[in-house]
């Protein structure tokens, strides 16, 4: 158990819908990262937050957004969902924004039908 929690574990929704994925980092970790794992593109970095502020952006679509709250949990919002958004979404956390070890949550499996 990495100490990073993600909810829900599974999510099935229809195209055009909007969903929110939630992540709670390890106790004491200030930095949260979101990754997408799909069959055709492997693991891709989406976005990073540190202590409530956005710090880095990767291959994140404009339909996706994220935030980190004062209690350090983070939410990834996916809207206008398409079939291609079906993937495993991971959250990871690290101690500081420079902390090089990232610990991963169990992931949320999103299926868009």
User: CB of residue 86 vs another protein: minimum separation in angstroms?
Assistant: 14
Nearest-approach distance from CB 16 to another protein, in angstroms: 26
DSSP 3-state of 87: strand
User: Any idea how long the chain is?
Assistant: 113
What is the C-alpha radius of gyration for the chain, rounded to an integer number of angstroms? 13
Choices 17-25, 61-69, 78-86, 95-103; region in contact with another protein by CB under 8 A: 95-103
Under the criterion CB under 8 A, does residue 98 sit at the interface with another protein? yes
Binding-site member from 25, 33, 64, 78 for another protein (CB under 8 A): 33
101 belongs to the binding site for another protein (CB under 8 A): yes
H helices then E strands: how many in the chain?
A: 0, 11
Nearest to 39 by CA among 76, 85, 6, 78: 85
Among 48, 68, 74, 93, binds another protein (CB under 8 A): 48
Q: Which of 32, 78, 103, 112 binds another protein (CB under 8 A)?
A: 103
| 57 interacts with another protein by CB under 8 A | yes
Please tell me the distance from the alpha carbon of residue 44 to that of residue 104, in angstroms, as a whole number.
14
The Cα–Cα gap between 95 and 78 comes to 26
**Piece of 17-25, 60-68, 75-83, 91-99 that binds another protein (CB under 8 A):** 91-99
């Amino acid at each position: 158990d990495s100490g990073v929690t993600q909810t829900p574990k599974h999510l099935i929704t229809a195209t055009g819908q909007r969903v929110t994925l939630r992540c709670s980092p390890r106790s004491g970790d200030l930095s949260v990262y979101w990754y997408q794992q799909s069959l055709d593109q492997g693991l891709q970095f989406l976005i990073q937050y540190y202590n409530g502020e956005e710090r880095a952006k990767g291959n994140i679509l404009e339909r996706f957004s994220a935030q980190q709250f004062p209690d350090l949990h983070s939410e990834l919002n996916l809207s206008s969902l398409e079939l291609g958004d079906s993937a495993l979404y991971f959250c990871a956390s690290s101690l500081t924004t420079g902390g090089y070890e990232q610990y991963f949550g169990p992931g949320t499996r999103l299926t868009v039908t």
